[in-house]
């Protein structure tokens, strides 16, 4: 008989049941999520994370009636608060958790929360909370901030916010779902910037080596020639009529007037680029060309490649269709 603990309850499992079949782990299950948490991997690092999985994490692992993470954080929070002053400690932790990333002085904390404490009394409580790893010290000994741990915040607010401010759990779930959507947007933006930096570096090296245009395209090019060195490779904002602007992901300006500039559109999508996005890039090329002072080569980079025939469509409009398979190993 094997004795274990699952979701806050002891379990007794016959050895015969444990060894009768091959063990499998659900990558979206609670066991693997616990592994990610214990090893310090953020949940949002997974490329296939979905809104449903995020809700599963929040509702299962942080549920009040026995989720593993709630059990661990809940016991720790309760013991830390009991050693200080229950009501004031909860209010302080909640306030700093809801304003995570912002530092507050003791005067600001006392004034904003209307605490009837002297500066000395508040300093003692704040020192105990910091030593308990419930709060973090700010840039000076007079300043404090939340831990910046979203899982801790979820657990704490589920356990205590209704008691402190009368907020129901349903509204918290809606708020966290909105926050998750915002985090996904930030993640997508960060990945896009990382892809742009990768292409910026590659184009810089390709220009120095005189790499042929055909080496940058999945489809045949109409006129093959070598790249020249680039003086700069940056984002570019082009002015259109009616005070409109057109943002270019990367604009590479050639060092020599005899070499063409390059305009690059970068897509770091999890799926291949399809007809709609290709049509948009073709339209953007037509809008950009009249605004340029000299000849330019147009390139579209897709981290995940293209759907059928789309590389050929780009080639028909003199746009290089590049993807990760054409880049040298990092």
**Together in a domain, 280 and 243:** yes
**Together in a domain, 200 and 299:** yes
Q: Are the CB atoms for 55 and 62 separated by under 8 Å?
A: no
**Together in a domain, 196 and 318:** yes
* Helix ranges restricted to H, the chain: 15-19, 30-38, 51-56, 68-82, 86-98, 106-113, 119-131, 150-165, 169-209, 275-288, 310-316
Question: Over the stretch 33-84, which tens digit does the pLDDT of each residue have?
Answer: 666 655 655 554 444 445 555 555 555 454 545 555 566 666 777 777 776 6
In a domain, 49, yes or no: no
More confident residue, 226 or 35: 226
In a domain, 5, yes or no: no
| CATH number of domain containing 320 | 3.40.1350.10
Residue 297's pLDDT band, with cuts at 50, 70 and 90, is: very high
**Together in a domain, 163 and 215:** no
Look up the pTM and report it: 0.50
Task: Evaluate if residue 259 carries a pLDDT over 90.
Answer: yes
User: What is the bridge-based pairing of β-strands 230-239 and 104-105?
Assistant: unpaired
Number of domains in the chain: 2
**Together in a domain, 319 and 199:** yes
Task: Evaluate if residue 86 carries a pLDDT over 90.
Answer: no
Which of 62-71, 222-231, 246-255 bottoms out in mean pLDDT, i.e. has the lowest? 62-71
b/e 214-228 (16+ beta carbons within 10 angstroms → b): eebbbbebeeeeebb
Reading phi first (left if > 0) and then psi (alpha if -120 to 50, else beta), residue 329 is in beta
- Chosen domain end from 167, 184, 202: 167
Cα dihedral sign for 72, 78, 84, 86? positive
Q: Nearest Cα to 36, choosing from 151, 194, 181, 157? A: 151
- Chosen domain end from 167, 200, 222: 167
Range of the structural domain that residue 206 is part of? 192-326
Q: What is the mean pLDDT of the chain?
A: 80
Q: Nearest Cα to 250, choosing from 323, 193, 293, 305? A: 193
In a domain, 256, yes or no: yes
**Together in a domain, 198 and 253:** yes
């Amino acid at each position: 008989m094997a004795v274990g603990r699952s979701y806050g309850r002891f379990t007794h499992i016959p050895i015969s049941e444990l060894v009768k079949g091959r063990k499998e782990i659900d990558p979206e299950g609670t066991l693997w999520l616990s592994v990610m948490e214990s090893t310090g991997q953020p949940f949002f690092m997974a490329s296939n994370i979905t809104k449903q999985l995020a809700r599963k994490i929040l509702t299962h692992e942080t549920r009040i009636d026995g989720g593993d993470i709630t059990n661990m954080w809940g016991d720790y929070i309760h013991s830390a608060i009991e050693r200080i002053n229950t009501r004031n400690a909860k209010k302080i932790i909640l306030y700093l958790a809801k304003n995570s990333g912002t530092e507050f002085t003791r005067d600001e904390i006392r004034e904003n929360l209307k605490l009837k404490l002297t500066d000395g009394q508040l300093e003692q409580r704040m020192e105990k909370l910091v030593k308990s790893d419930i709060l973090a010290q700010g840039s000076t000994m007079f300043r404090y901030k939340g831990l910046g741990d979203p899982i801790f915040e979820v657990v704490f607010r589920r356990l205590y916010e209704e008691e402190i401010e009368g907020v129901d759990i349903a509204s918290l779930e809606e708020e966290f779902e909105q926050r998750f959507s915002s985090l996904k947007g930030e993640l997508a933006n960060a990945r896009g910037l990382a892809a742009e930096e990768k292409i910026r570096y590659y184009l810089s090296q390709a220009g120095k080596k005189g790499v042929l245009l055909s080496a940058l395209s999945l489809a045949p090019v109409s006129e093959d020639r070598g790249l020249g060195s680039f003086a700069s490779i940056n984002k570019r904002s082009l002015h259109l009529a009616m005070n409109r602007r057109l943002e270019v992901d990367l604009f590479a300006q050639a060092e020599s007037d005899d070499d063409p500039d390059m305009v690059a559109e970068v897509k770091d999508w999890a799926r291949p680029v399809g007809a709609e996005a290709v049509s948009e890039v073709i339209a953007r090329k037509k809008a950009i060309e009249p605004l340029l002072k000299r000849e330019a080569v147009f390139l579209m980079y897709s981290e995940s490649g293209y759907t059928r025939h789309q590389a050929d469509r780009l080639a028909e409009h003199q746009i290089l269709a590049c993807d990760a398979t054409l880049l040298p190993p990092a």
